[in-house]
């Protein structure tokens, strides 16, 4: 049996495009002589469709698309993911289903049993869980068809509170009773740099445990803030990786099941990529797909001479091409000469258009207008924030006039502790670095410069500063980022209590101060633009913290 894996980039609700991609892959599989080709979870609609699933017209279009695809499955079978209406009077309206298409029709349907409801997932909101198990008989083989979490029922969550295993049942334990020949798993699993190795280990352990080969296909796409890496793979019955598809690329490959079982070929050895390289590629894909799927063409940002805007600009240039980007350099009286010259050099290195608009006169006019109210009160963070907000006004004016989408350049460290200005540097339509800690922003810069100095070295080497007052440095208000980021990671990603963080050797007063800053600035993050997610706990839809609450005991 020849099995194909189609790792494709879908667009939520774009049925014509999704159907065309799937049919094109089926035609390629026919030419190859494949018997079966697999597509990812909810491939007909794109994942996650969220509350579009509550609209009858959307679900009708999904089913019509499945039927259209089935008509092309005459000499070949295909597994396509999509929602299916629940015919029962009780329960949720839909199932999350895998449609087995063959001989021009829907031959079998397998419904998802384990519906993740944590982090960014909210499948229990829409879907009824499956409670009946079966294998699919096809060309003399018994296929154990599973949908994402149904094969991942023993995930471990690294946190001090919670269960290692959140599910009480194992669908594969039920399916193995039918003596299947192969496990098929269709998924829509988003990228996290923390889970790169653990995903592979899940499939390796399942293959070894059940002594069955695993064919896994994952979506490769960015859908708003979520980035799906692909990384589909084939594992033989001994838990050996037979082949892996690339991260962040569309790909279609075909495999002879007998060769997988008999070790005739152990697959293509792929080059190991670093975590930073994968984060870089994920962010480039995230920007590219956000713009293309929203039909946006051009971007702008404020280029300050700092590390964040520099890295953000390089990522945008690689995602959108330099000719589609224009940046503004908006020096104030506190901006160093090097900040301007380094920004100019970076823009010229990339071939990006730029314009210099000094903001001092504008800021002074704001101060003059506010003088009757402020009187002789000493200057403080209010005047600092005026500069950030003036810059945002200029950037948004260019956005409106020329059709640019403003990219936010704040990083996760700053967003975590509120070292950002509402309606100032928090403005934007997309935040590429909002899930990247400052220390990793520097690592990204070094990765970008690994072959040539694209980002001027002075941007990387100088102490970070917002340059909103004389001789200002980030370290005036915050601990060194090498320390801050470790505390943030333990509190945000690992969700550790303050006492546990202190036990790791951090200063108790500092730990409590940082945690208080995180909790006190939740209201700011509610107003942030969509943040591209590259971790297991990004600010945004996967981290739901109440605004009006008392956090003192944490």
CATH code, domain carrying 365: 3.40.50.620
Considering the domain architecture, whether residues 259 and 282 belong to the same structural domain is answered as: no
Among the options 148, 244, 326, 414, which is catalytic?
148
Averaged confidence pLDDT in the chain: 93
Considering the domain architecture, whether residues 386 and 289 belong to the same structural domain is answered as: yes
CATH of residue 20: 3.60.110.10
Q: List pLDDT tens digits, range 318-370.
A: 999 999 999 999 999 888 888 899 999 999 999 999 999 999 999 999 999 99
- Is residue 133 one of the residues assigned to a domain? yes
Whether the CB-CB separation of 335 and 357 falls below 8 Å is answered with no
Among the options 41, 225, 414, 493, which is catalytic?
41
- Is residue 388 one of the residues assigned to a domain? yes
Tell me whether residue 112 is one of the annotated catalytic residues.
yes
Considering the domain architecture, whether residues 196 and 163 belong to the same structural domain is answered as: yes
Region 462-466: what's the mean pLDDT? 80
Q: Give the bridge partners for 38, in sequence order.
A: 5, 79
Considering the domain architecture, whether residues 385 and 241 belong to the same structural domain is answered as: no
Quick one: how far is CA 28 from the chain centroid?
Answer: 29
- Is residue 499 one of the residues assigned to a domain? no
- Is residue 501 one of the residues assigned to a domain? no
Tell me whether residue 368 is one of the annotated catalytic residues.
no
Whether the CB-CB separation of 310 and 337 falls below 8 Å is answered with no
Considering the domain architecture, whether residues 254 and 284 belong to the same structural domain is answered as: no
Among the options 112, 293, 345, 438, which is catalytic?
112
Q: List pLDDT tens digits, range 232-241.
A: 999 999 999 9
- Is residue 495 one of the residues assigned to a domain? no
Tell me which residue has tokens 């010259």: 341
Domains of the chain: total: 2
pLDDT band at 118 (very low <50, low <70, confident <90, very high): confident
**225, 241, 269 - which closes a domain:** 269
Considering the domain architecture, whether residues 180 and 322 belong to the same structural domain is answered as: no
Considering the domain architecture, whether residues 158 and 300 belong to the same structural domain is answered as: no
- Is residue 504 one of the residues assigned to a domain? no
**Predicted model pTM:** 0.94
Considering the domain architecture, whether residues 437 and 467 belong to the same structural domain is answered as: yes
Whether the CB-CB separation of 33 and 246 falls below 8 Å is answered with no
Considering the domain architecture, whether residues 362 and 233 belong to the same structural domain is answered as: no
pLDDT band at 547 (very low <50, low <70, confident <90, very high): confident
In sequence order, what are the residues at sequence separation of 6 or more whose Cβ sits closer than 8 angstroms to the Cβ of residue 225?
A: 286, 530, 531, 532, 533, 538, 540, 541
**448, 474, 500 - which closes a domain:** 474
Confidence (pLDDT) at 270 = 57
> Which residues span the domain enclosing 38?
2-269
Whether the CB-CB separation of 129 and 165 falls below 8 Å is answered with no
Whether the CB-CB separation of 15 and 65 falls below 8 Å is answered with yes
- Is residue 356 one of the residues assigned to a domain? yes
Considering the domain architecture, whether residues 245 and 334 belong to the same structural domain is answered as: no
Tell me how far CA of residue 338 lies from CA of 334, 343, 415, 445, in angstroms.
11, 8, 26, 18
Considering the domain architecture, whether residues 228 and 136 belong to the same structural domain is answered as: yes
**269, 291, 326 - which closes a domain:** 269
Considering the domain architecture, whether residues 159 and 97 belong to the same structural domain is answered as: yes
Sign of CA dihedral 21, 22, 27, 30: positive
- Is residue 481 one of the residues assigned to a domain? no
């Amino acid at each position: 049996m020849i099995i194909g894996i189609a790792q494709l980039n879908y667009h939520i609700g774009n049925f014509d495009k999704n159907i065309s991609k799937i049919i094109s892959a089926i035609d390629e599989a026919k030419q190859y002589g494949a018997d079966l080709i697999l597509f990812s979870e909810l491939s007909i609609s794109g994942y996650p469709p969220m509350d579009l699933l509550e609209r009858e017209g959307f679900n009708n279009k999904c089913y019509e698309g499945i039927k259209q695809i089935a008509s092309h499955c005459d000499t070949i079978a295909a597994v396509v993911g999509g929602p299916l209406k629940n015919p029962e009077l009780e329960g949720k309206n839909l199932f999350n289903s895998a449609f087995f298409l063959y001989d021009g029709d829907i031959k079998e349907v397998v419904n998802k049993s384990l519906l993740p409801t944590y982090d960014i997932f909210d499948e229990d909101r829409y879907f009824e869980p499956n409670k009946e198990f079966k294998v699919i008989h096809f060309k003399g083989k018994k296929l154990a068809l599973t949908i994402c979490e149904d094969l991942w029922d023993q995930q471990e969550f690294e946190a001090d509170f919670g269960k290692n295993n959140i599910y009480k049942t194992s669908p594969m334990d039920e399916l193995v009773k039918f003596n299947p020949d192969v496990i098929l798993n269709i998924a829509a699993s988003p990228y996290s740099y923390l889970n790169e190795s653990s995903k592979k280990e899940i499939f390796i352990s399942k293959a070894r445990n059940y002594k069955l080969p695993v064919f896994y296909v994952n979506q490769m796409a960015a859908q708003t803030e979520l980035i799906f890496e692909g990384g589909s793979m084939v594992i033989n019955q001994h838990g050996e990786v037979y082949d892996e598809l690339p991260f962040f690329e569309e790909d279609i490959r075909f495999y002879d099941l007998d060769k997988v079982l008999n070790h005739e070929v152990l697959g293509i050895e792929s080059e190991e990529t670093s975590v930073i390289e994968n984060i870089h590629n994920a962010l480039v894909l995230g920007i590219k797909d956000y713009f293309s799927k929203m039909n946006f063409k051009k971007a702008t940002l404020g280029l300050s001479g700092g590390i964040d805007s520099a890295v953000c600009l390089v990522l945008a240039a690689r995602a959108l091409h330099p000719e589609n980007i224009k940046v503004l350099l908006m020096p104030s009286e506190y901006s160093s000469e090097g900040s301007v010259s380094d920004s100019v050099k970076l823009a010229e290195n990339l071939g990006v258009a730029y314009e210099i608009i000094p903001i001092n006169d504008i800021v002074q006019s704001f101060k003059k207008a506010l003088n009757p109210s402020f009187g002789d009160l000493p200057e403080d963070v209010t005047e600092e924030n005026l500069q950030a907000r003036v810059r945002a006004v200029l950037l948004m004016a260019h956005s409106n006039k020329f059709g640019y989408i403003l990219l936010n350049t704040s990083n996760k460290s700053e967003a975590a502790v509120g070292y950002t200005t509402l309606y100032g540097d928090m403005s934007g339509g997309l935040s590429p670095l909002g899930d990247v800690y400052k220390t990793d922003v520097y690592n990204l810069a070094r990765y970008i410069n690994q072959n040539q100095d694209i980002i001027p070295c002075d941007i990387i080497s100088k102490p970070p500063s917002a340059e909103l007052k004389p001789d200002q440095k980030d370290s005036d208000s915050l601990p060194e980022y090498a320390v801050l980021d470790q505390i943030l990671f333990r509190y945000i990603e690992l969700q550790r209590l303050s006492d546990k963080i202190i036990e790791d050797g951090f200063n108790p007063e500092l730990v409590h101060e940082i945690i208080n800053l995180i909790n006190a600035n939740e209201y700011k993050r509610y107003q942030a633009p969509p943040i591209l997610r590259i971790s297991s706990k990004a600010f945004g839809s996967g981290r739901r913290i109440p605004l009006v609450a008392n956090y003192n005991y944490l």
